[in-house]
Structure 1
Amino acid sequence: MEMKNWKKRLFAIYTGQFFSLLSSAAVQFSIIWWLTDATGSPLVLALAGVAGFLPQALIGPIAGTIIDRYSRKMMMILADMTVAFGSFILFITMYFQEPSLVLIISVLILRSIATAFHVPSLQASIPLLVPEEHYTKVAGWGQMVSSITNIVGPAIGVSLLAIATIEWVLLLDILGAVIATSILLFIHIPKVTEDKSAAPLSFVTEMKEGYQAVTQHRLLIKLVIVMTIVAVLYIPLGTYFPLMVRNHFERGVIEAGIVEITFAIGLILGGVLVGFVGDRYSKGKTMAAGMALLGGALLISGLLVPSAFFIFIGLSFFMGLSGPLFSAPFYAFIQTEIEPRLLGRAFSFITSLSLLATPLGFGVAGIIAEVTDIAVLFAVTGCLIVVNAIITYKMN
């Protein structure tokens, strides 16, 4: 495979994806805020949340098989344009009348389906563009781009909503998709080399092939299970950070914002750190270190007295910093160990597993927080993640 000028091509792709992800984050936040303001219903927000992740989880294995069959570049373009199309339909409707809840939920479902194709397509394209020794470094760059867009996107959404109505914010999606697609059209992403002598496989057989590529790799399936457990434990805490600030530390919305910003800064710097260090250290050991840092910070947070809020701010930075340390090497390990022709299916299967397990995490976290205390939830979660860090370390 041609790897010359890979940095230039990757920079161009990430530039386009930056605008696409940035506009999507702004629009996604604006839609959720509009639902909050228009309905004030927790049930509607829960429904919107399910519409945002469940379709992606359910169709992931199917999407992965399609990605591996066809051009990954075309899959990314179609996914971007699908998101733009959904936003355009919502823009037209909102311009002339009040949209129905069914239409808004339908657009969120469409966005989730597009994401099921877009993210694995991008991840599966990396080994076709980047030398293997740089996989971890590139994964760190990707984490940094994603982190920045997830932080800046909602801020842009809030700013635009302050000076314009939501339908005009929706046009950002179209702009972002046009920029990303225009750049991709001029980027050559090599196609996976196929064995022409082999008999064509059925769609179901190809799905099974991707599943088996993950499950039959002894170390990879163990890491997938550990990472899924960490996701189940950690993802719900994002919802409870403001509650920790308000209920345990008895602070207000400004302090909650400071915690979120500090966490975000740590997340960005974590991506920078991984991008700089690359593969100088074992992927498994780096993952274990990241988990240990996250678990330790959560455990200490849960043990803090209410007057130690400023220590919690510092710990939030380390929580953010830890994310890329265990996620970027994990993605790089998958790209190293799985054949390029199977990567779309592998990433889709792993993503679907994490997303389907997330509701379980929300349920358990909600019960612990309700029965005990929010600080106890942080401490218990921290302990369990440290255990996972130890297991990950011993695997390697």
Structure 2
Amino acid sequence: MQVEKRVIYHLWAFACSKFISSFGNNVYGFGISLYILTATGSAIGFAVNLICNTLPRAILAPFAGTFADRLSKKKMVLFSQGGAALIVTSLLTFTYIHNLNMYAIYTATTLLSLCSTFNSVTLTSAITQLFDQERIQKAMAFQQASISLSTIGGPILGGALFGLVSMKTFLFIYISSYVVSILLQSTMNFSLYRNQPHTKPSSLYTSLIEGLQYVRHNQTLFNLFLVSLLINFFAVALAIGLPYMAVERLDIQPEHFGIIEGTFACGMLLASVYFSVRKTSRNPLRLTKWGIIIASFLMALTTLPLVFSLSYLANVSYYIIIGLFYGISISLINTPLGVLLQNVIEEGVKGRVFGIMEMMAQGLSPLGMMTYGLALDKIGALWSIIPSSLFMIGFTLLLLNRKRIRTNPIEPSSATKA
């Protein structure tokens, strides 16, 4: 009974801490993004900041996963979030001494990305230690719902505040949210459902190699990682292209663009509620494949307002509808795949596998950000985004076709079967 009460508490503490920290992060991120766009007037400055956010993830994710398998997950989660709060506190202090500039923003973004990498990889690998098998999908759906709610409110609040208050307010919101999140996560027992004790490989190098071999020996798992690598490269076109099209080309106001970004999360929230009450899918890879295809098609449709002259209201309404369905498609990708991986990856290598997955997902993103930042300025959004969506569909159909999945199924881990 005590364990049952504890895991229920975990569900709510986990969801609330994710909501609070994500809310602060979204308000801060939205404010910083618009500050860069208005200060530079170019997609390149925005792309550089995104590179500072993704490059540390690509480099450090495998090491974060290795430490997650070797050290206390709770301490890593708390220290990484505390480090992020300290970094933004330093940036806030800097703004009182000097004027906020691009170099300070890029430095803070890089350091925050480092902390976020250790936090996200460790927390993801700890899911099966916080929750029993029957509640894994519910926990991940709660997490997605919390992130979605914060993504709805964050950009809306950020858009409303931008231009009315200084960047110091955005920094203070970030710091406050992370402090509260740390307090909540400190009350959680990260060993409630530990299936095996900590293992300490002889060296960091050996541990990394074991994680790589685990992935390489399962062809379908390896194909999923390749899909993540390629999809994240091509999807950068929308990450950079949407604010560029909406704010720079169509002159959509910041507060309205905040609503547009919020609708992406609305779609994810609706799908998360659905996954929180339904049983685990029998064929999660099929859902993932079709989720990518739908997302790719919707990505291409975002360019239509550049082709057809529409009114301001029509442009905003159109992007709101696209955002809603795009968010649903993202949940069709993330939730079934996340539950599958939690159930099939061995407990002792989870940190390393998720770290490798993070590395591969982010591996080509920095190159993609610089490429698409230049492409948007040189050849425009139409010829940058539409070919990217077609390539996403092609690679997904190639790597996740029915024959490959049927020939190389992902087997459940021994811990799950037990």
CA contact (8 A) 1:125 1:189 kept: yes
The match for 2:223 is 222
Cα deviations by residue, 1:39-58 (Å, 9 ceiling, x for unpaired): 65765544333222211221
- Following superposition of structure 1 onto structure 2, how do residues 237-316 of structure 1 map, counting pairs within 5 Å? 237-242=238-243, 252-253=251-252, 259-298=260-299, 306=308, 314-316=321-323
Q: CA RMSD in A?
A: 3.3
Structure 2 residue corresponding to 1:354, chosen from 357, 361, 382: 361
Q: For residue 201 of structure 1, give the secondary structure of its aligned residue in structure 2.
A: coil
Amino acid of the residue matched to residue 4 of structure 2? Answer: K
Give 5+ residue unaligned stretches, structure 2: 407-418
Amino acid of the residue matched to residue 188 of structure 2? Answer: I
Instruction: Report the Cα offset of residue 139 of structure 1.
Output: 2.5
Amino acid of the residue matched to residue 87 of structure 1? Answer: V
The match for 1:319 is 326
Give 5+ residue unaligned stretches, structure 1: none
The match for 1:138 is 139
Structure 1 residue corresponding to 2:352, chosen from 339, 345, 365: 345
Instruction: Report the Cα offset of residue 100 of structure 1.
Output: 5.8
Change (3 A) 1:315 1:200: closer
TM-score, with length taken from structure 2: 0.81
Instruction: Report the Cα offset of residue 235 of structure 1.
Output: 3.0
Q: For residue 126 of structure 2, give the secondary structure of its aligned residue in structure 1.
A: helix
Q: How far apart, CA to CA, are the structure 2 residues paired with 1:361 and 1:161?
A: 28
The match for 2:409 is none
The match for 2:4 is 4
Q: For residue 235 of structure 1, give the secondary structure of its aligned residue in structure 2.
A: helix
Q: How far apart, CA to CA, are the structure 2 residues paired with 1:278 and 1:318?
A: 22
Is 1:72 paired with 2:79?
no
Q: For residue 253 of structure 1, give the secondary structure of its aligned residue in structure 2.
A: coil
Cα deviations by residue, 1:235-264 (Å, 9 ceiling, x for unpaired): 3213223555689xx854168666544433
Q: How far apart, CA to CA, are the structure 2 residues paired with 1:102 and 1:307?
A: 38
Cα deviations by residue, 1:241-296 (Å, 9 ceiling, x for unpaired): 3555689xx85416866654443322322222333334144211211231232234
Q: How far apart, CA to CA, are the structure 1 residues paired with 2:37 and 2:374?
A: 24
Q: How far apart, CA to CA, are the structure 2 residues paired with 1:219 and 1:326?
A: 16
Amino acid of the residue matched to residue 358 of structure 2? Answer: T
Change (3 A) 1:112 1:187: same
Instruction: Report the Cα offset of residue 133 of structure 1.
Output: 4.0
- The size of the alignment, in residue pairs, is 392
Higher deviation after alignment, 344-353 or 89-98: 89-98
Change (3 A) 1:266 1:81: same
CA contact (8 A) 1:301 1:375 kept: no
CA contact (8 A) 2:43 2:240 kept: no
Amino acid of the residue matched to residue 327 of structure 1? Answer: N
CA contact (8 A) 2:228 2:360 kept: no
